[in-house]
Structure 1
Amino acid sequence: MFILFIVAIVAAALLLFRLILIRRELGRITKQLRCYNSGETGKKIDVSLFDRRLEALASEINRQSHLIVEANAQRTQIENELRQAIANISHDIRTPLTSIFGYIQLLEAESITPDEKLQYVTIVKNRTKRLQSLLNDFFELSVIESLDYPLRPDKIELTNLVSDILFGFYDSFNEREITPEIRLPDENVHLYADESAIRRVVENLLANTIKHAAGHVQIWLEPKPETVDLIIVNDAQKLVGSDVHLLFNRFYTADRTRSSQGSGLGLSIAKSLMNKMNGSLTAKLDGEKLTMTCNWKR
């Protein structure tokens, strides 16, 4: 009986000692977390006492801290992109507006000839169309990136669709004296997706290719067991490797100037549409060859 009493006392003492250690360790964890939250240190929480529950707690706190850091970094990136976007929007809208206003002032002059008047009216009309196209692209991108953007997936014949789109760009390629090498599968590749979204993606990619390509262009549709790839390869002499990941950013232009021929939103719209369709749009630069790859799940 006495031995049992001694054992109970020893067990109680060990338990009390264990509780004291756990309490001390909790205080230590609290202090580490306070220092981390106040910015005094960026060190993650560590546990000196072997206890699975305390280690699990510290691990979850560290995981939550990591998620907060990632969220803050993403928020900062979005804020920077938003500021850049606002600056670019202001520039891209102000440029044609300034030009339109200038030519309107010239039209008001009494000394202009009929030929000059016709020339100025044509310029104003073109600048107005440019501004309208720009605003339409802004609106389209904002609609596409909204959470409730509707997709209407249906079974489509992708080979026929791509062939039809390419035929529509025949004159544009011909004007640039580009004869693309086109490879389409003999069989019709079927895909369950939104036809209008796919058409918009392919049209934007082809328009970008025609605008910037120099030399040989390759376009092929490659069916795989579980996916389908549309691949476009063209020369991109103005592009450098570090710029490739920026291609799908809003308003990016490879020559670092604000192009008067487009808003810089075409590839961004295509990327957003591919994401909406659970597909992917990627770019890779090999030497001076730029490869754009659209990937759809079958």
Structure 2
Amino acid sequence: MSKHSIINKILFYFLSVTTIVFMLFSFLVYSFYKSSLINSAMDNLEVQSNIISDLAFEYINNSTAENSKYLWDYVEKLNKYSGVDLIISDTIGYVYLVSNSAHKNLLGKQINIDEKDVVTKTNAYDQDIQKKVYKFIKPLYNSNIYKGSITLMLDDGYISSKLHDIKITMIVLYVFLISIIGIIYYLLSRKILVKPIEIINNTAKRFASGDLCKRVSINSNDEIGELSNSFNYMAESLDKIDSNRREFLSNVSHELRTPLTTIIGFLSGILDGIISPENHIEKLTIVYDEVKRLSRLVNDLLDLNAIESGKFTLRPRIIELNSLIKYTVKNFEQEIEQNDIIMEVFFEQSSINVVADEDRLVQVLNNLIANAIKYCDHKKRINISTKIKNNKAMVNIFNTAKLLSEDEFNNIWIRFYKNDKSRTVRGSSGLGLSIVRNIISQFREDIWVENRVKEQGVSFIFTLQLSNLSN
């Protein structure tokens, strides 16, 4: 494909349409001009016939040299400027005078005069002259006595030559207009269309080579400007994705390296005899916990990948929400007691039936409750409540904690984001909240986080679809 194939294609289509329009316009102009030219010629023949008929009377009645000169002088001028020829015939149609030597063969011959008392206009092939002519035949009467007729003729070649002139004029005009329009269009297209596309194309090639910092600078309030803005938005998104990818790899490496270092260290110590036999159980227990942590990390990564790749299958059914929350909270009783946390559960209604995938909803509750326990502050209070609002079931999981900063609000759902920057909080993969948001999105519901200033804590709130069985 040539470098300027787009502009060439557009130019080709533009010139094709222009040519078709010009041809239609030319055809209409040509037809109108031809009709006007023929009508004008016939009208001229009629006017000239009135003048020549008077001279012809004088010539017929008194064929003197002077009368003949008047007639011939006028006819010669008429032929010179208008291309009109004269034929005079007698009462029975015999030709006795022609103005054009090309018609000498008609002298002494009888021509067809259909009606002697009618002025005749014709535009057809003439058998006598053997070509197409425009004729005006006028009978000559003197005191109601038929004296013969005059025939004024205009050769079709005269009309054709005039039409040929306008054809040439139109062709020259077409070539001139197409050339001017084509040049102007090409130059404008280069500036308005091709140059911006070249800029975008070159920037895209920079992106392909790994340079994601380049941006397109095109200031125009049209589709090209909109395209450049979309391109820059895409570039920023790709840059952010690339940054997230690098951060993700760094985070995964860190999350894997820490437990693996612990496992390798303790196992090496046991195998090398550095760790005494009486401490084997303690160290192997730590190794076991780190292996479970690695297993959770791998499972969370697999879950998140399945959700984000669209391979996440939901099996929705009707679930009694309050009972499921009670069941989930019981699984955390040991951790709640160990951390001296006050756990309170409030249900606005005794029973709320929702439509959801039970296993995935339990996963959401587990992650949010575990997060609440992990970040609960010294006041040690967690509240879980449910209610119905705007035809939706709403679940609110609140824990007393330090209020979230703006940065935490913006990044809390990002993979591996931890507001514990030093990563001293153990047992978390950093994927829980990201998985939670993706599952709720798969439910086609909403989840958000709020600072509760008055209660001095943070709430995670999400909605669920009510079933028809809800009260």
5+ residue gaps, structure 1, are: 6-11, 47-57
**Structure 2 partner of 1:87:** 250
Describe the shift of the 1:147–1:170 C-alpha distance in structure 2 as closer, same or farther (beyond 3 A). Answer: same
**Structure 2 partner of 1:290:** 458
Describe the shift of the 1:66–1:297 C-alpha distance in structure 2 as closer, same or farther (beyond 3 A). Answer: farther
Letter in 1 for 2:448: T
Describe the shift of the 1:130–1:70 C-alpha distance in structure 2 as closer, same or farther (beyond 3 A). Answer: same
- Per the alignment, in what secondary structure is the counterpart of residue 428 of structure 2? coil
- Per the alignment, in what secondary structure is the counterpart of residue 45 of structure 1? coil
Which deviates further from its counterpart, 166-175 or 143-152? 166-175
Describe the shift of the 1:235–1:109 C-alpha distance in structure 2 as closer, same or farther (beyond 3 A). Answer: same
Task: State the Cα distance separating 1:81 from its structure 2 match.
Answer: 0.8
- Per the alignment, in what secondary structure is the counterpart of residue 42 of structure 1? coil
**Structure 1 partner of 2:337:** 174
Q: Confirm or deny that 1:255 pairs with 2:420.
A: yes
- Per the alignment, in what secondary structure is the counterpart of residue 368 of structure 2? helix
Task: State the Cα distance separating 1:276 from its structure 2 match.
Answer: 1.1
**Structure 1 partner of 2:410:** 245
- Per the alignment, in what secondary structure is the counterpart of residue 180 of structure 1? strand
Task: State the Cα distance separating 1:98 from its structure 2 match.
Answer: 1.2
**Structure 2 partner of 1:163:** 326
State the percentage of identical aligned residues: 25
Q: Confirm or deny that 1:234 pairs with 2:399.
A: yes
Task: State the Cα distance separating 1:112 from its structure 2 match.
Answer: 4.7
Describe the shift of the 1:66–1:273 C-alpha distance in structure 2 as closer, same or farther (beyond 3 A). Answer: same
Q: Confirm or deny that 1:270 pairs with 2:436.
A: yes
Q: Distance in 1 between matches of 2:337 and 2:312?
A: 36
Q: Confirm or deny that 1:221 pairs with 2:400.
A: no
Residues 317 and 355 in structure 2, CA contact (< 8 A), matched pair in contact too = yes
Give per-residue Cα distances to partners, 1:131-168, cap 9 Å, x unaligned.
22222222222222221211111222222222322233
Residues 321 and 354 in structure 2, CA contact (< 8 A), matched pair in contact too = yes
Residues 367 and 433 in structure 2, CA contact (< 8 A), matched pair in contact too = yes
Q: Distance in 1 between matches of 2:361 and 2:184?
A: 60
Q: Distance in 1 between matches of 2:433 and 2:349?
A: 29
**Structure 1 partner of 2:445:** 279
Residues 216 and 228 in structure 2, CA contact (< 8 A), matched pair in contact too = no
Letter in 1 for 2:248: A
- Per the alignment, in what secondary structure is the counterpart of residue 342 of structure 2? coil
Residues 29 and 45 in structure 1, CA contact (< 8 A), matched pair in contact too = no
**Structure 1 partner of 2:368:** 205
Over aligned residue pairs, what C-alpha RMSD do you find? 3.0
Residues 155 and 190 in structure 1, CA contact (< 8 A), matched pair in contact too = yes
The two structures have a TM-score, normalised by structure 2, of 0.53
Greater relative CO, 1 or 2 (CA 8 Å, sep 6+) = 1
Residues 213 and 236 in structure 1, CA contact (< 8 A), matched pair in contact too = yes
- Per the alignment, in what secondary structure is the counterpart of residue 205 of structure 1? helix
Q: Distance in 2 between matches of 1:226 and 1:25?
A: 58
Describe the shift of the 1:68–1:171 C-alpha distance in structure 2 as closer, same or farther (beyond 3 A). Answer: same
Task: State the Cα distance separating 1:207 from its structure 2 match.
Answer: 0.7
Alignment of structure 1 residues 1-298 onto 2, 5 Å? 23=185, 25-30=188-193, 33-34=196-197, 36-37=199-200, 42-46=217-221, 58-59=222-223, 61-110=224-273, 112-214=275-377, 215=379, 216-237=381-402, 239-258=404-423, 259-287=425-453, 288-298=456-466
* Larger-Rg structure: 2
Letter in 2 for 1:180: M
Letter in 1 for 2:218: K
Describe the shift of the 1:171–1:100 C-alpha distance in structure 2 as closer, same or farther (beyond 3 A). Answer: closer
5+ residue gaps, structure 2, are: 1-28, 34-172, 204-214, 467-471
Task: State the Cα distance separating 1:20 from its structure 2 match.
Answer: 7.8
Residues 234 and 290 in structure 1, CA contact (< 8 A), matched pair in contact too = yes
Give per-residue Cα distances to partners, 1:195-246, cap 9 Å, x unaligned.
2111110111001101111223222112113322211222232843321221
The two structures have a TM-score, normalised by structure 1, of 0.81
Which deviates further from its counterpart, 181-190 or 73-82? 181-190
Q: Distance in 1 between matches of 2:289 and 2:277?
A: 18
**Which structure features the higher share of strand residues?**
2
Q: Distance in 2 between matches of 1:82 and 1:225?
A: 39
- Per the alignment, in what secondary structure is the counterpart of residue 448 of structure 2? strand
